Amino acid sequence: MLEPVRTALEAPELHIGLLRGLVAAFAAGVLALVAVGLRSLLGRRWLRRLRLTASSRRLPGLVGPAFVVASVLALEALQRSLIPAVRVAGTVPDLPTSVVLGLGLVWLGVAVAGLTPAPLPVGMLLALPGAWRLVAGQEFLGPSWVPWLIVLGTAVAGPLAAEADRDLGRTGLSPVMWLFVVGAAYATVPDTELALVLLGVAIPLALLGLPFRLARLGDGGAAASIGLLLWVASQQGWARPGSLIGTLGALALFTTFPIGHRLRRWFRFELHWSRNRRLLVVLLAQFVLAMWASRVAGLAYGAIEAIARLIPAVAAGIALGIAMPMGRRRVPRSGRSSRRVRTEPSIGSTRTPA
C-alpha cells in the first residue's frame, strides 16, 4: 500500500504537476477572496435582479477551472521535459488541441446550464458537443467502446458532479473529494505518467476546500475536470480495460449522491446526525468508495467483471445520498398525507374547552 505512495513522491511527473498546482491554488485563492468580498459588497439583491442562481451559501467555483488550466500547462511541460527519443516514440502521449477545445466547450455548456431552472438535463445536453470534441479526430488503443466511455462519461457524470458540488455548498469537501478521485485513478491505471501530473495539480488545490474553505469545483469546472481525467485514463489504462471502469467508478459520491437525492421521495429514511458528523462520513465514504473502485473494480482485466465489482460501491453511494440529504430540504416522514393533515382540518373536529 505504501509503495505506490513512495513511487509517486519520487516521480518527476508529480513535481511538475505540483508546481503548477501551487501557482493555480494561489491564484484561485486570491480570486476567491475577491469574489467573496464583491458578493458581500454588492449584496444578493443584485443577483436576484439579474435572475441568477448564485447563492451566498456556496463558495466560488474556481477549483475546477484552475485544475483544468494547470493540468493542461503541466502536461505540456511534461512533454518539453522528455528526452527526444521518448518524445518521438510517443510512449507518453501529447495533449491534442482538440481536447483543450473540448474541455472549454464542456465547461461553458455545464456552466450555462447551472443558471437554468433544470441544470442537470440541460447540462447533459449542452455538454455533448464538448464531450464529442474530446475524442474527435483521434485514434484510441484498446476496446472500441473507449471513445464512447469518454463522451458519455463526461456528458452524464459531469452534470451529476456539478449538482453534487452545488449541494455541498460551503462545506469545502468537493476539492478534497476530487483529490481522492485523482489519487484513485493513479492507483488503478497501468501507466501512470499523465495521471501523476494530474495528482500533483490536485494536491495543493484541495487546500482551497479544506481547511481554508475558499472555493469549490464549480459547475463547469467539475464537468471539464471529469472530461480531462477520462481522457487521461483512456491513454494510460487501455492495456487493462477494467481500469477505465475503475476510474469512472472512482467518482463515487460525485455521481451517486444526486441519484440518491432524487430517490428520497420514495425512501423516507434519513440519518439525523449532526452537521460535522455528516461531513466526516461523506469525506470518509468518498475515500473508501474511490479506493474500492480503484483497487477492487479497477484491477479486473475485463470491463464486465469491473462493472460487476463496482455494483456494491454504486449501491452504497446511492444509499448514502438517500440517508444524508446534503444541501437538500428534508422530506417529511409521512409524505404528502402529512402535509394534507397539517393544512386541512379534519371534518367534524372540534376543540373542547379545558
List helix spans (H) across 238-350: 241-249, 253-262, 275-292, 303-323, 335-343
Using DSSP, state whether 67 is helix, strand or coil. helix
Q: What does the pLDDT read at residue 269?
A: 76
> Under the phi-then-psi rule, with left for phi > 0, alpha for psi from -120 to 50, and beta for the rest, what region is 273?
beta
Q: What does the pLDDT read at residue 84?
A: 74
> Under the phi-then-psi rule, with left for phi > 0, alpha for psi from -120 to 50, and beta for the rest, what region is 213?
left
Residue 53 above 60 pLDDT? Answer: no
Quote the percentage of the chain above a pLDDT of 90: 71
Q: For the chain, give the mean pLDDT.
A: 87
- The C-alpha atoms of residue 212 and residue 150 are separated, in whole angstroms, by 33
Q: What is the pLDDT of residues 295-341, one digit of tens each?
A: 999 999 999 999 999 999 999 999 999 998 777 655 444 444 444 33
Average pLDDT over residues 25-48: 78
Q: What does the pLDDT read at residue 173?
A: 96
Q: What is the pLDDT of residues 110-120, one digit of tens each?
A: 999 999 999 99
Hey, what amino acid is at 10? E
Q: What does the pLDDT read at residue 9?
A: 84
Confirm if 154 and 129 have CB atoms less than 8 A apart. no
58 band by pLDDT with thresholds 50, 70 and 90: confident
CB atoms within 10 A of CB 329: 7
Average pLDDT over residues 46-54: 51
Residue 345 above 60 pLDDT? Answer: no
Q: What is the pLDDT of residues 136-172, one digit of tens each?
A: 999 999 999 999 999 999 999 999 999 999 999 899 9
Position of cell 455541498?
A: 168
- Residue whose C-alpha is closest to residue 249's, from 284, 299, 193: 299
Q: Which residues of 247-272 are buried (b: 16+ CB within 10 A; e: fewer)?
A: bbbbbbbbbbbbbbbeebeeeeeeee
To 10 degrees, the CA torsion angle through 155, 157, 163, 165?
Answer: -120
Q: What is the pLDDT of residues 174-215, one digit of tens each?
A: 999 999 999 999 999 999 999 999 999 999 999 999 999 999
List helix spans (H) across 43-172: 44-49, 63-81, 84-89, 97-113, 119-133, 146-152, 158-168
Q: What does the pLDDT read at residue 338?
A: 41
Cα separations in angstroms, 339 against 125, 213, 223, 334: 35, 37, 37, 8
Beta pairing partners, 61: 216
Position of cell 447563492?
A: 55
CB atoms within 10 A of CB 123: 30
Q: What does the pLDDT read at residue 333?
A: 46
271 band by pLDDT with thresholds 50, 70 and 90: confident
42 band by pLDDT with thresholds 50, 70 and 90: low
Residues 6+ apart with CB under 8 A from 14: 8, 196, 197, 199, 200
| Ranges 42-51, 243-252, 298-307, 324-333: which has the least confidence | 42-51
Position of cell 484498446?
A: 142
